[in-house]
C-alpha cells in the first residue's frame, strides 16, 4: 500500500511540475505578445504625432494669447531660416510649467510649446533645425513630439552613450566635437525613428533589446546596463 501511495504521489507531483512548466511557458509567450502589442499601439500613436513638434525656448509672458504665441513662434523660426505662415499651423499651445531658459548669460522665462502643422512640407522644414540653431545663440530648439515610451527609450540611450563616451574622451575633446569616425550619439530622425550613429554607421532601435544591442555594438568592451524601458 505504501508503495502504491508513493507511486501515486510521485505521479501527481510529476504532473503538477509539468503543469507549472507549461504555465510558465504560456505566461512567457503572453508577456512577449503583450509587449509586441504595446509597441504596435505606441507606433500608431507616434504616427499620429508625426505632424507635431515640441518647441523649447519660446519666451513667455503673463496674459499671452494664442495669436501672440503664433507670431512669436513664426518670428523665432525665421531666425534659423525656417519660413512658416499662419495657414501652415493647425493648432498650437503651451504644454509645460514655466521654467528658466538659459542662453549664455541671458535668462528668460519660457514654457514648452506644441505645434501641429497642416502639411508635411512645413513639418520637414525642421529637419536639422537644432544643428543650425546651435550656431545662432539665443534661438529656440525644436524636437519631435515623441510618445512617453519612445522618449524614455531615447533618454536612456543618450544617458548610456554619454556615460560611456566620458570614459573614452576628455570633456574638452567632447566639447570641441569628435570626428565622425570616433563619435557615438543617439537621436530621433524627422519621422521619430530612434537611431544611434556609431562612428559613421547608423543603427535603429525601438525596443530595449535593440537598444542593448546598439550599445553593445558601440561599446563592445563595456558591459551593458539593463533598464526597465520596453
Q: Which residue has the higher pLDDT, 14 or 173?
A: 173
Q: Are 43 and 73 found together in one domain?
A: no
6: containing domain = 1-49
Of 118, 144, 170, which closes a domain? 144
Reported as type and span, the H/E element at residue 172 is: helix 171-176
Q: How many CB atoms neighbour CB 184 within 10 A?
A: 22
CA angle 55/137/180 to nearest 5° reads: 85
3-state secondary structure (DSSP) of residue 182: coil
SS3 content of the chain, % helix, strand, coil (to 5): 50, 20, 30
Residue 227's pLDDT band (cuts 50, 70, 90): very low
- Residue 42 sits in the same domain as residue 76: no
Q: What is the pLDDT of residues 23-41, one digit of tens each?
A: 788 888 878 888 888 999 9
Q: How many CA atoms lie within 13 A of 152 on its CB side?
A: 10
Average pLDDT for residues 85-102, to the nearest whole number? 88
Q: Span 146-151, mean pLDDT?
A: 96
Q: What is the pLDDT of residues 46-90, one digit of tens each?
A: 999 999 999 998 888 888 999 999 999 999 999 999 999 999 999
DSSP string of 114-144, one letter each residue: EEEESSHHHHGGGTTHHHHHTTSTT--EEEE
Amino acid at each position: 500500500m505504501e508503495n502504491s501511495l508513493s507511486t501515486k504521489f510521485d505521479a501527481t507531483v510529476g504532473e503538477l511540475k509539468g503543469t507549472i512548466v507549461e504555465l510558465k511557458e504560456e505566461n512567457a509567450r503572453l508577456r512577449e505578445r503583450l509587449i509586441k502589442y504595446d509597441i504596435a499601439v505606441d507606433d500608431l500613436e507616434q504616427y499620429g504625432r508625426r505632424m507635431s513638434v515640441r518647441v523649447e525656448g519660446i519666451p513667455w509672458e503673463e496674459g499671452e494669447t494664442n495669436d501672440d504665441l503664433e507670431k512669436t513662434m513664426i518670428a523665432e523660426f525665421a531666425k534659423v531660416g525656417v519660413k512658416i505662415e499662419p495657414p501652415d499651423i493647425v493648432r498650437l499651445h503651451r504644454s509645460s510649467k514655466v521654467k528658466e531658459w538659459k542662453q549664455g548669460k541671458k535668462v528668460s522665462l519660457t514654457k514648452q510649446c506644441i505645434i501641429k502643422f497642416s502639411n508635411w512640407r512645413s513639418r520637414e522644414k525642421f529637419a536639422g533645425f537644432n544643428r543650425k540653431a546651435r550656431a545662432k545663440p539665443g534661438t529656440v530648439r525644436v524636437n519631435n513630439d515623441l510618445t512617453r515610451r519612445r522618449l524614455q527609450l531615447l533618454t536612456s540611450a543618450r544617458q548610456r552613450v554619454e556615460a560611456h563616451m566620458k570614459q573614452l574622451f576628455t570633456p574638452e575633446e567632447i566639447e570641441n566635437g569628435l570626428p565622425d569616425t570616433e563619435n557615438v550619439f543617439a537621436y530621433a530622425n524627422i519621422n521619430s525613428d530612434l537611431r544611434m550613429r556609431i562612428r559613421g554607421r547608423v543603427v535603429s532601435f525601438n525596443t530595449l533589446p535593440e537598444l542593448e544591442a546598439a550599445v553593445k555594438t558601440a561599446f563592445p568592451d563595456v558591459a551593458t546596463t539593463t533598464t526597465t524601458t520596453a
